């Protein structure tokens, strides 16, 4: 007969066995999570802090729910944001993105400035200095670059122009003017592909060398060792390749939808966005194809100056 004491002993043994099994399962999934690409780069101290605060279970449930829901794009984007909040390193194939806070404050990137710096990559300057780093992406010429250069010359502002092969071929005189007026010309790849999809070092280098060679043939000068990934698409491997080729990679901390030539923002909309979101250390991305940019740049530079901002060059960010 099963006595009360015997039932108690059985329950005790079963309870201990159950707890042991649970501990084993918990340790297993924590180990799997720790070794995943989302948390493998996290420091041991941060990992232990997350365990103590009970955040690991939340992360696991989130990742599993995204997997079973089949929301591939949303999964990647939200996993990046969640892991960034918890200090994880997430640098698979991604699109560069920003999160904005209070007006006039620096935004956060989906990869931290400290992590990017390991690859000689940057997206923002110091928060302690009201300085702007102005950059333009030049995919092709449609009549606005001259006005942009005129405004920069009037305000004595030096910018960086990231050019592709087509721009070098179709607008050589504008490239020469950029150089002659003291601006920097950087590498935006020859064909403007999705560089994050290129795993071959040879193919990656071909895109970079094509622009560098064309620029030297045109100007007799070496192109600046600054690279901007087309569409902001990048991976850890890409950043490492660029670094090994001697390039600094530059993302941005302020941009707006100026690239759609068929739906240009109004002057008022553009000025509001570019003044409301400006912040110390801003690396500003504008497109030379924007008619609005060509028309407002003189006024915009004046507004920024009245707000107490001055202008730096990308060499300042990488200590050159």
CA 65 – CA 75 distance, rounded (Å): 9
Tokens of 37: 């690409």
Same domain? 131 vs 71? no
- Report yes or no on 21 lying in a domain: yes
Per-residue pLDDT of the chain (320 residues; tens, 9 = 90+): 444 444 444 444 344 444 444 455 555 556 555 444 444 444 455 445 556 556 555 555 545 544 444 433 343 344 434 333 333 333 456 889 999 889 999 999 999 999 999 999 999 999 999 999 999 999 999 999 999 999 999 999 999 999 999 999 999 999 999 999 999 999 999 999 999 999 999 999 999 999 999 999 999 999 999 999 999 999 999 999 999 999 999 999 999 999 999 999 999 999 999 999 999 999 999 999 999 999 999 999 999 999 999 999 999 999 87
How many CB atoms sit inside 10 A of residue 180's CB?
9
The tally of domains found in the chain comes to 2
What pLDDT was estimated at residue 270? 98
What pLDDT was estimated at residue 263? 96
CA 229 – CA 195 distance, rounded (Å): 7
Domain region containing 70: 4-95
Same domain? 117 vs 160? yes
Tokens of 301: 């530079």
- Report yes or no on 308 lying in a domain: yes
CA 33 – CA 207 distance, rounded (Å): 36
pTM of the model: 0.72
Same domain? 199 vs 117? yes
Active site residue 137: yes
Task: Report helix, strand or coil for 34.
Answer: helix
Same domain? 114 vs 62? no
- CATH number for the domain that contains residue 273: 3.20.20.370
The dihedrals phi and psi of 121, each to the nearest 5 degrees, come to -120, 150
CA 132 – CA 307 distance, rounded (Å): 11
Same domain? 186 vs 281? yes
Among 183, 188, 279, 287, the active-site one is 287
Determine if residue 42 is left, alpha or beta; phi over 0 gives left, psi from -120 to 50 gives alpha, anything else beta: beta
Angle between helical axes of 4-35 and 55-69 (0-180°, round to 10) = 70
Same domain? 306 vs 199? yes
Same domain? 57 vs 148? no
- Report yes or no on 101 lying in a domain: no
- Report yes or no on 266 lying in a domain: yes
Task: Check the CA dihedral 208-212-215-217 and report its sign.
Answer: negative
Same domain? 189 vs 289? yes
What pLDDT was estimated at residue 319? 82
**Which ranges of 184-308 would DSSP assign to H, the alpha helix?**
201-219, 236-244, 267-276, 291-306
Same domain? 77 vs 122? no
Same domain? 82 vs 152? no
Same domain? 51 vs 120? no
Write out the E strands in the chain: 94-95, 98-99, 108-109, 121-122, 131-138, 160-163, 184-187, 226-227, 233-234, 248-250, 282-287, 310-312
Task: Report helix, strand or coil for 208.
Answer: helix
- Report yes or no on 105 lying in a domain: no
Do β-strands 233-234 and 98-99 pair in parallel, antiparallel, or remain unpaired?
unpaired
Identify the H or E element spanning 150. Answer: helix 145-155
Among 137, 188, 248, 279, the active-site one is 137
Same domain? 61 vs 188? no
Residue from 73, 39, 68 nearest 56 by CA? 39
Active site residue 166: no
What pLDDT was estimated at residue 78? 41
Contact 314, 226 (CB under 8 A): yes
The neighbouring-strand residues paired with 285 are: 135
Give the residue from 61, 95, 129 where a domain finishes. 95
């Amino acid at each position: 007969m099963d006595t009360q004491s015997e039932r108690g002993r059985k329950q005790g043994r079963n309870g201990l066995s159950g707890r042991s099994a649970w501990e084993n399962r918990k340790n297993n999934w924590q180990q799997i999570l720790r070794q995943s690409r989302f948390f493998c780069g996290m420091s041991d101290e941060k990992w232990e802090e997350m365990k103590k605060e009970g955040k690991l279970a939340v992360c696991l449930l989130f990742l599993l729910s995204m997997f079973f829901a089949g929301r591939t794009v949303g999964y990647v984007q939200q996993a990046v944001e969640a892991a960034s909040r918890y200090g994880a390193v997430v640098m698979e194939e991604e699109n560069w993105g920003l999160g904005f806070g209070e007006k006039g404050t620096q935004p956060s990137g989906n990869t931290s400035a400290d992590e990017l710096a390991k690859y000689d990559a940057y997206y923002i300057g110091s928060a302690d200095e009201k300085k702007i780093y102005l950059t333009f992406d030049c995919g092709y010429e449609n009549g606005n670059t001259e006005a942009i250069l005129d405004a920069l010359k009037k305000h004595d502002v030096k910018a960086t122009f990231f050019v592709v092969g087509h721009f070098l071929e179709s607008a050589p005189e504008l490239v020469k003017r950029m150089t002659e007026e003291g601006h920097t010309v950087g590498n935006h790849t020859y064909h403007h592909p999705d560089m994050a999809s290129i795993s071959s070092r040879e193919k990656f280098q071909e895109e970079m060398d094509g622009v560098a060679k064309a620029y030297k043939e045109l100007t007799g000068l070496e192109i600046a060792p600054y690279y901007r990934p087309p569409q902001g698409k990048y991976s850890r491997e890409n950043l490492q390749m660029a670094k090994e080729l001697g390039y600094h990679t530059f993302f941005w901390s302020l941009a707006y939808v100026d690239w759609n030539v068929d739906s240009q923002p109004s002057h008022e909309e553009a000025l509001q966005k570019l003044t409301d979101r400006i912040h110390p250390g801003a690396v500003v991305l504008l497109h030379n194809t924007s008619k609005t940019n060509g028309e407002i740049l003189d006024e915009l530079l004046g507004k920024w100056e009245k707000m107490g901002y001055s202008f730096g060059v990308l060499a300042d960010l990488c200590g050159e």
